[in-house]
Amino acid sequence: MAINHLQLAPEQVAGSTIALLPGDPERVEKIASHLEDARHLATAREFTSWIGFLGGRPVLVTSTGIGGPSLSIAVEELAQLGLRTFVRVGTAGAIRPGIAPRDVVISTGAVRLEGASRHFAPVEFPAVADHEVTAVLAAAAGREGVRFHLGITVSSDTFYPGQERHDTFTGYVLPELRGSLEKWRSLGARAYEMEAATLFVMCAVMGLRAGAVCGVVVNRSESEAIDPAAAEEAEQNAIRVAVAAASALPAE
Ligand code: URA
């Protein structure tokens, strides 16, 4: 490995093939607390890694940072270390009515409103989640009693203009992005988030499995304000679903 941004040695991952991938380094320990014998492995920049076990099987938890570029570094280096199945454990802003804060959205595919995935495949290539991982996530949500929504999410490189937020410093959104939230809603997309498209495209072309579950922290049809209590519960729900899915996923 030319550069090891994650600062992980091969022996530390202990033969794990499943990685749970939050964006937020602080979410790593929260996820690891659901695993057996969990311990911290490394922290470098936005990448924090813990390992733990589910039914005796090692599971790695590594934060990817925000957005496709840093996620692509984490997934590339984890693949080199032997990881083969990747589950993003994120947060999302819903754009369709009927999706409540605290629910989770399980991405079946993602709009490539980002740039990193273009370094792995041309834009005509679809960003689609692995079917088996997605089915296991949905079944896990059902078992955990977490309300879930399956569908397309919009992966945007930016939190503000790309997700058509007008309550910003300048309030300015480029003409080509004005009306984009309504466009994606009309096309049936469930929510905005920032990493699924990069994850799905790079895993598909690398022969790896990927899925994504995101806790809904706000519904933009109703409000622009994120309620911290709802956000915390949304995060916990996404974690419960991802951990239950990891313990049910058949080995590759
Ligand atoms: N993450 C996003 O990318 N957008 C939101 O609105 C909430 C979480």
* Best probe residue, ligand 1, of 114, 194, 195, 235 (max atoms within 8 Å of C-beta): 194
**Ligand 1: nearest atom to the Cα of 159:** 3
Q: Which of 27, 209, 220, 240 is catalytic?
A: 220
Question: Three-state SS for 61?
Answer: strand
pLDDT, one tens digit per residue, over 99-118 is 999 999 999 999 999 999 99
The C-alpha atoms of residue 34 and residue 41 are separated, in whole angstroms, by 16
For the chain, helix (H) and strand (E) counts, in that order, are 6, 9
The C-alpha atoms of residue 49 and residue 70 are separated, in whole angstroms, by 14
Q: Which of 46, 77, 164, 195 is catalytic?
A: 77
So what's the pLDDT on residue 250?
85
The C-alpha atoms of residue 108 and residue 241 are separated, in whole angstroms, by 15
Residues contacting 86, CB < 8 A, separation 6+: 18, 19, 21, 75, 78, 199, 203, 208, 209, 210, 211
So what's the pLDDT on residue 13?
96
> Is pLDDT at 37 greater than 90 in this prediction?
yes
pLDDT, one tens digit per residue, over 177-230 is 999 999 999 999 999 999 999 999 999 999 999 999 999 999 999 999 999 999
Q: What is the mean pLDDT of the chain?
A: 97
**Averaged pLDDT for residues 138-148:** 98
Q: Which of 84, 88, 112, 165 is catalytic?
A: 165
Quick one: tokens of 124? Answer: 């005509």
Q: What percent of the chain clears pLDDT 70, i.e. is strictly above it? A: 99
The C-alpha atoms of residue 50 and residue 243 are separated, in whole angstroms, by 14
Instruction: Indicate the burial class of 242 (C-beta count within 10 angstroms; 0-12, 13-18, 19 or more).
Output: buried
Element (H, E) at 50: strand 47-54
> Is pLDDT at 252 greater than 90 in this prediction?
no
Task: Based on the residue annotation, tell me whether 165 is a catalytic residue of this protein.
Answer: yes
pLDDT, one tens digit per residue, over 65-81 is 999 999 999 999 999 99
At residue 33, what are phi and psi to the nearest 5 degrees?
Answer: -65, -15
Q: How far is CA 33 from CA 21, 120, 235, in A?
A: 14, 34, 14
The pLDDT confidence band at residue 1, using thresholds 50, 70 and 90, is: low
pLDDT, one tens digit per residue, over 13-30 is 999 999 999 999 999 999
Residues contacting 42, CB < 8 A, separation 6+: 6, 7, 8, 12, 48, 49
pLDDT, one tens digit per residue, over 147-171 is 999 999 999 999 999 999 999 999 9
The C-alpha atoms of residue 122 and residue 187 are separated, in whole angstroms, by 22
The alpha carbon torsion through 235, 18, 78, 111 (nearest 10 deg) reads -60
So what's the pLDDT on residue 2?
62
Spacing of C-alpha 161 from chain mean position:
20
Q: How far is the CA of 82 from the centre of ligand 1 (A)?
A: 30
Q: How far is the CA of 15 from the centre of ligand 1 (A)?
A: 33
So what's the pLDDT on residue 70?
98
So what's the pLDDT on residue 251?
80
The C-alpha atoms of residue 67 and residue 116 are separated, in whole angstroms, by 9
Name the percent of the chain in helix, strand, coil, to the closest 5: 35, 30, 35
CB within 6 Å of ligand 1 — which residues?
91-93, 159, 163, 192-194, 217-218
So what's the pLDDT on residue 3?
75
Residues contacting 22, CB < 8 A, separation 6+: 28, 31, 61, 63, 64, 88, 89, 90
